[in-house]
Structures are given as C-alpha cells and as structure tokens.
Structure 1
Amino acid sequence: MITHIETIRQRPVWQEPARETRERFTRPLPNEPRDLGDVLDDVRRHIMPFATGNLHPLFMGWVHGAGTPIGMVAEIVAGGLNMNCGGRDHAGLAVEQQIVRWMSEALGYPDGASGLFLTGSSMANFVAVTIAKTEALGQSVRETGLRNSDRELVAYTSAEAHSCIAQAMQLSGIGSANLRTVAVDAAGRMLPDALSASIAEDRAKGFLPFLVVGTAGTVNTGAIDPLAEIAEIASREKLWFHVDGAIGALAVLSSSLRDLFKGMEKSASVALDFHKWGQVPYDAGFLLVRDGGAQKRTFAQPAAYLQRADRGLAAGETWPCDLGPDLSRGFRALKTWMTIETLGADNIGKSIAHTCMLARHLADRLSRHPAFVLKAPVALNIVCFGIRRGDAGFVRNLVSDLQVSGLAAPSWTTLDGEPVVRCAIVNHRTTTADIDGFMDILDTYLAERREKLQN
C-alpha cells in the first residue's frame, strides 16, 4: 500500500472494474480455507486497481479526503486491539474524549460539551435532529413519538443544504415536508430575512419551529451561510441551531480561513467529517454538542446489561452508547488522534488553506480561458464552471469522458437548472502543477472534440 501511494500519479485516477473482477465477486460462499497470500493476490488484482480514486491528486469530483500513511498505521493498531468503543472503562473512550476537548477548543465550545464519532456527517446530522426534537418535545417523545404533540414541528435550512438534512427529518419521524428550504443569495448563502419571515409565517399557522440548520460549506459550491446572523435569529426564536460543517468546519484550524465561520461557536451542535479535510481514512464523522446533557437525555438507555459500577470494566458515568444509537462501535478516534498528534493542527490548517488557494488558481485559469465560464463564486475549495457554446450533454460527456480516460475525475452538478462541471479540491497531495496539468487535459479534450466535429 505504501508503494501504491508513492506511485499514485503513475496510475489512472479511476478505471472501471474489469469484467473478470465483477465476476470474481459473484462466487458462492467459500466453505474451504485459502492461503492468505492467494487472497492478497486477489486484493492486488481485483480491488486495488479499481478503487474510488480519491488518493489521486486529480480526483476532484466529490469531497473525499485522501488519507495518510499515519491513518493506515492507526487502522492496523485499532484492528489488532479490536476494541468496542460503545462503552466500558478503557483507553479507547479516553482517546475519543480527547477529540471532544480538542474540537471544543477549536470550535469555541464550552466545557461540558459532548461529542461522538459516527460514520459521517449524514449520521451526525440525523443525531443532531433527533436531539433537537427531544429537547423541543421532552423526553417522553422517545416513548410516545409525535402523537402527543399538539403542534407539528418544523425546521429550516437553506435551499443549498445537503439532502441528508431532509433525510434526517424523514428518519426522525417528523417528515421532510416539515423542512422549510430558505432562499439563498447569488453566492448560495441562506438569506436571514427570508428565514425570519418563514418562521413568523409558520408560527402564525400554528406550527412549532424547533430547529434551524446552517451550512458551513455547501456541497455544490462551498458557500458558507451567515452563521452569526442565523445564530441571533435562532436565539431570539428559541430554536436549536445546528451547523452542518461536513465540508467546511475544519477550516477553523486555518488562521486565514477561521473568520469565515464566525457564529459557528454560538451553535448548539456541529457535524463534521475528519475523513474530508482532516485527511483521516474513512470513516470518521463527528458530532459536537454544546449541551452534553441534551445529548444524553436523547439516547441513554436504562438496560440492565448497561448498568454502571464504581470500579471495574463497568465504571464510568457516561459511555458513547449514551450519546448516540450505536452500542457496537469501532475505534475511529485512534486514527483521528494519531493524525492530529503527528501532523499538528497548524499543518492540517495549512493544508486546508492550500486547497482553497488551488481552487482560486483553477478559477483564475478558467476565467482567463476563452472556452470556459465560472458559474459560482469560489468560497472555499470548490470550483464550478461551464463550457461556452456547450450544452448540457457536452458537460456530462466531458466529465464522463475524463473519468473513463483515467486522466482526471471531476463531477457535474446543477446550478440554476444548468449542468456545470464541479471540481472539489480536497487532496493534500494536489499541487499547482496538478491544476495546471488539469487545464492542459481540458485543452486537449476540447481540441480533440473540435477535430472530430470537423471530420
């Protein structure tokens, strides 16, 4: 794997799994053992060449971190120890609590905040919605559900928020029809006046507003909602203010970017992903909650087999299983702790700022090119652009052709009803030379397309 990473630029960014590989994974259940070396040969032949591609510097289609060898070492240690970090009194829980304290410090949360590792921000956002629901209706909602509520709950987020917010409303039993999508400005940021008006309208109709979700880096363009203004509205209206920081929250580790997120420190909870800009191997999602008591009130269970003792393995007042839905949990905290300890928060912040600089460099190159046009402001590390005199089919074909070629892996999204090419630069390995090389790839592609049309 070390060699694989060292030679990553010599490999395609992505390639479609071969037919032989697809057939390899349709075999029936093996009853007899095989030699480990033979199994590893299958890994080398059928898995490693056909991975997602996010290790490569020109993987820019989705917001995936690239990992580091530090995380690989941590995964070996964690796998060997095989600890269940749902509870009990052992070092795994102490490491997780260390991350809670570090993130509280970085995000401006007070002592008494709680936190929890989850698979990713989709789950972290779901847990946050569940906490907000319980705080709005009381702990009895855990047993009775929504049937005893005299008013329907409603929540608010921007029209550019990630779809997992709507899904969290669905899974929590409230329903996505009760999620109001607030209008955004030309940069994709929630409009505070529109939020206030929507809340007032719902109150007049007899609904019970309980939650507003701000976004610290939208998935389409990286736009940052006006978090400080949203925090003031949430405080005035007595709403739970949650921030979906899956893409951008870790930018607070960068001294040059930190001020963009003013107001996040006033939130009630923040979801983030260490496996994105933190470069921790998948998966390492995280939720930080200002009021640790609220999180525990939502999830703690009085089961006999979870009783606590004043000593022994069952010691400890609060276990991770008291703070979320999982009882069986892996040691996700170790790879995060080792990454931060080894690299240092400042270096991680500098890496984050570097990817934003690369995005600005790409945007500058595109804006000066006669064939391309920027389609959204570059707020962080995401660049969206279109092709002059190119229709929707051209955009989709360009993206798919580049992916299939193995030369680069952008993606496409839709802005104002128009398909655009989207490049999310997250990889710490990506350099200015890589971005310039991507522009060369685009030039070559356009030239080849023109030649085909002429012939």
Structure 2
Amino acid sequence: MTALHSPFEEAAEVTMVHLTGAAAAELTLDPPNWSEQRQLAHRMLDDIFDHLETLRDQPAWQPVPAHVRDSLREPLPRLPQGEERAYQDFLHNVLPYASGNRHPRAWGWVRGNGTPFAMLAEMLAAGMNTHAAGGQQAATYVEEQTIAWLAQVMEMPVGSSGIFVSGGTMANLLGLAVARHAKAGFDVREEGLQGTHQALVVYGSTETHMWAQKSLEFLGLGRRAFRRVPVSENFQIDTEAFQQQVRCDRAAGFRPIAVIANAGTVNTGAIDDILTLKKICEEEDLWLHVDGAFGALLKFSPEYRHLVAGIELADSLAFDLHKWMYLPFEVGCLLVRDAKAHADAFAAQASYLEKANRGMLANGLPFSDRGIELSRGFKALKVWMSLKAYGTETHGQLIAQNVEQAAHLEMLIRKHHKLDLLAPRVMNVVCFRYRPQDHMGVEEMNKINREIVLRLQESGEFVVSGTLLRDDYALRVANTNHRSRMEDFAALVEAVVRHGDDLCSGASPASM
C-alpha cells in the first residue's frame, strides 16, 4: 500500500534532501548552503542597482500586460518552487511594473522616490527583524534620538514626544486621537462616545485631505463632526469664518476640540495661516493639529522654511518622510508637544508586558504607549542612517532645488500662450491646463486635459496626476523628486502642448 503524504510532509522531504545527519530530523528556513544564498543575495543587489541606475532610460510607468496579470494569478504554491524561481518571477513580473514614482519624470500625486542607501538601511532593518515597541535595545535609542532630531528641525520644544508610523494618514489619525482625549472634557477612553456628553467637532478647510474624514469615522466622531471651512482665492482656510463657526457651534451645544491646519494642501500646496490659527486656538481652547504631510519638510531648507512659519507652535504635527525626505515607503512621523498628553491617549498595561527596572523590558514599551500598534518594524533606522549619511543641509538643498524647479515650470507655463496656470504656486506644486482657444468651453477643456494626463502616463513619458480646482480640471505636478532636472520640466511643457495639439486636430474630446 502506498503511503499518503500531506503537502507539508512532501515539502519537508524536498527540503531535507539538503540536510544530513541529526539536522535532517527538523526543518528550518535558514539556507542549507549559506554560500549559495550569499551569491543569490549579491545578484539581487546587483540587479536592483542596475535597475535604479538606468531609471532614466526606462518608461516612467507602464501598465501590467495581460499575460503578466495572468501569471500572477497562479494557484497557491503547496510545494517549494525554489528561491531562484521566486526571484526570476519577481524580476520579470513585478519589478518592471511599479507605481511610477521613482522615475526622474514622475511628479504625480505626492510621492517620494526612495534612495539606494535607504533601501540598504531597510534591508538591514529587515535582517535585524527587531520588535520596535521599545524595551532595552538599540532600536529604542535610535528612534528616540531620531525623533528628537526631527523635533529640532521642526523647531518644536525639547522633550516633545513622537513616533514613527506607516505614513501621513496614520500620523494624522493618532494626532487627532490625542486631541480628542485632551479636549473632550471627559475620559473618552473610559466612557467612549456612547454617553450623553456634548457632541465633539473638528474643523478644517475644504482643501483638507480625505484622511480627516476617514479618521473621524474611525475615531467614532463621524463625518458630521467635521466642519469644512471655506477657503480664500489662494486656497487657504478663511480664519474669520473658522472662528465664527466655532462660536456658532458652541451656541448650538457642540464642543469644538481641534482644528486641522494644512502645511501644504494636496491639491495646490497652499499653506494655511498657522500663526493666526494658533492665536484663535488659544482664545477658544482648541487643539492645533498641523497636517504637514510634505510641506513641513520645508523646515529643512533655510531659504524656504519661512513658508511654514508657525508649525512649531502646533500641539501635534504630522508629516511624511517617504515624501519630501525621499525615503522608501513606509515612514511617517507624529510629533506631540505635550509628552504626557500623548501617552495619556494610548498607554495601556498588561501583565504579560510588565515594566521592570532590569532585563529586556527595562524602561517599558514607550512606542506602544504612543500609538495603537504593539508589533512595530524598525522604521527609524532608514531615517537615522539617512540623516547621518547626508545631513540636514543636503536634504534642505534638495528641497530648495525642487521648489526652484517648480518655479521654473511655472515660468514656462506663464510664457506659453496655450497653457494656463490654475492656482498660485506656493512651493513645489504646479497646477495648469492646456487651453488652445479662448472660446473653448470648460467641459471641453476638461475632457482634453484629462486625456492629456492619461496619454502622458500611458506613453511612459511622464507621471503627472490631475485634480479639479473649483470647476477646472488641472494637470498637477507635485515635485518631491531628487532625480529630476530642469530639462525634464521643459520637456513636460513640450509634451503637454504636443498631446493637446494632437487631440484638437484629431481625436474628438467627446469620444475620450
């Protein structure tokens, strides 16, 4: 009778052929031959460095072909295919079809590019595979020091608290959670939001990123708790309308707790009048939270840090380091002025995580006490190593370079008779459109410009995104790219006009 074997037993048999002696009795995922694994690792590094070195020669983006999509829909691999097969599938079916953010001509949405050195730091962090909730380990001290450095860059007080998270949405969510606990007027952690307390409300401009709505839903406050304040012609929050809304809400029985100030809106890069908002918050006893997703990083630049004056006065400040510090995904940061308020919003105790004066849990788990995650990767390492390798001055120079490149693009647009600037350029975001004829209607121009965005992407020439500014569709360039050159922006203008002219002379916008 033939014995039946489970898939696990079959996999074990395949693996154990490499093992000898007593070691053959048990499995491990360490390589049976470390020398061969090392050779594969060196080949992987060589391949990815070749890929990064030749980015300019590759398409800015390309869609995933049908045959590749089909190959990625393979059945669950129950038996080992081998490391070489897995790597070859990555090389052919994954690496060429990325999201179009690393290329020198990629400026869509707001996404950084990564750096080779930070990629290596990420590899080292994965090799350490440390659990970074705190405890007596080097990772704890690295993260605390890096947070202190960033607080210094942002000109926040010594002793400000902070934590690294996956990105701006999570950093902003945690900042609002601290605000909710600090300003609710009752113990929201103990009582929740199901009692008879006043309804809590939060304010932000109509240009505030969608994270605010999602966060208020998640925090149990609901969409109705978000008061969308109108903006000026420059897309800044109307501070008088904001204060008037606060007073109306108080009179109606609501409890205002916080305002979200934008240090760089996602649409146009507008920066709210944070100094005035801080003054209103002091008068009205409100928490000032600043969404500095990418704009806060202007603090690295001596030439342009004045644009975000006032963010250092925030009660909490969120920003992304995988945007304008050019690091690989994922790493965002939350800074909180009042360290006690930060811990009060999240700290929790459990018998299996008892604090001690000695041993691995000496000094507790500070990062678990500053957010909702217990298990955490070592995000701080790539930030720490990049700051040490390049310093704040280099990062500041790159940010200034991006602003100056955006200013150059703005100048080219203003000079061209077929292009319109659709919003004031404050820093690195430029919104514009192709407009061949004065008599062309808004709807027709919107269709043409939407098609231009798609053609730029699908041709592999450029990655730009689009947005609606009031009723006008805009091509949107958000330059957080350390690989871009001035010549790339001149080429963009030429390509936009070329595609626009082709559309006007050929394909009907109605068919797009």
* TM-score, reference length from structure 2: 0.87
Structure 1 letter corresponding to 2:445: D
Deviations 1:77-105 (A, max 9, x none): 00100001123211111111111101111
Within-5 A mapping of 1:297-376: 297-376=344-423
Conserved? CA contact 1:139–1:297, under 8 Å: no
8 A Cα contact 2:405 2:486, kept in partner: yes
Q: Is 1:87–1:327's contact at 8 Å kept on the other side of the alignment?
A: no
With a CA cutoff of 8 Å and minimum separation of 6, indicate the structure with the bigger relative contact order.
1
Q: Is 1:146 aligned to 2:196, yes or no?
A: no
One-letter code aligned to 2:465? S
In structure 1, stretches of 5+ residues that fail to align are none
Taking the aligned partners of 1:111 and 1:350, their CA distance within structure 2 comes to: 25
SS at match of 1:294: helix
CA offset digits 1:320-368 (Å, max 9, x no partner): 0010000010000001111111111011011111111111111111111
Q: What are the Cα deviations for residues 99-147 of structure 1, in whole angstroms up to 9, with x where unaligned?
A: 1101111112112211011111101111111111111236731132112
* Residue number among 419, 427, 432 corresponding to 2:473 in the alignment: 419
2:98 alignment partner in structure 1: 51
Please give the secondary structure, in 2, of the residue aligned with 1:412. Answer: strand
Alignment check: 8 A CA contact 1:187 1:376 kept = yes
Of the candidates 85, 97, 109, which is equivalent to residue 156 of structure 2?
A: 109
Is the CA contact (8 Å cut-off) linking 2:165 and 2:332 kept in structure 1?
A: yes
Please tell me the residue identity of whatever aligns with 2:344.
R
Backbone CA RMSD of aligned residues: 1.4
Query: Is 1:392 paired with 2:439?
Result: no
Gaps of 5+ in 2: 1-47
1:318 Cα offset (Å)? 4.9
Where in structure 2 are the equivalents of 1:402-413 lying within 5 Å?
402-413=456-467
The residue type paired with residue 401 of structure 1 is R
- Provide runs of 4+ in structure 1 moved above 4 Å: none
Give the deviation of 1:444 after TM superposition: 2.6
Amino acid of the residue matched to residue 492 of structure 2?
F
Structure-1-length-normalised TM-score: 0.97
Deviates more, 1:430-439 or 1:133-142: 133-142
Which structure has the greater CA radius of gyration?
A: 2
Contact 1:137 1:149 in 2 (8 A): no
1:436 paired to 2:483: no
Give the equivalent residue in structure 1 for 2:223: 176
Of 242-251 and 316-325, more deviation after overlay is shown by: 316-325
The structure 2 residue matched to 1:236, chosen from 276, 280, 283, is 283
CA–CA distance in structure 2, aligned partners of residues 20 and 419 of structure 1 = 34
Structure 1 match to 2:56: 9
Match of 1:215 in 2: 262
Letter in 1 for 2:170: M
Tell me, what secondary structure is at the counterpart of 1:48? coil
Find the aligned partners of 2:348 and 2:504 in 1 and give their Cα distance. Answer: 65
Rounded Cα–Cα distance in structure 1 between residues aligned with 2:58 and 2:394: 27
Deviates more, 1:4-13 or 1:146-155: 146-155
Report % sequence identity: 37
Q: State the secondary structure of the residue aligned to 1:391.
A: helix
State the shift of 1:149 in Å: 4.8
Match of 1:247 among 273, 294, 301: 294
Measured after TM superposition, the shift of residue 453 of structure 1 is: 5.6
Secondary structure in 1 aligned to 2:95?
helix
d(CA) in 2 for partners of 1:279, 1:391: 34
Shift of 1:41: 1.0
Q: Is the 8 A contact 1:217 1:247 kept in 2?
A: yes
The count of residues paired between Structure 1 and Structure 2 equals 454
Residue identity in the other structure for 1:39: A
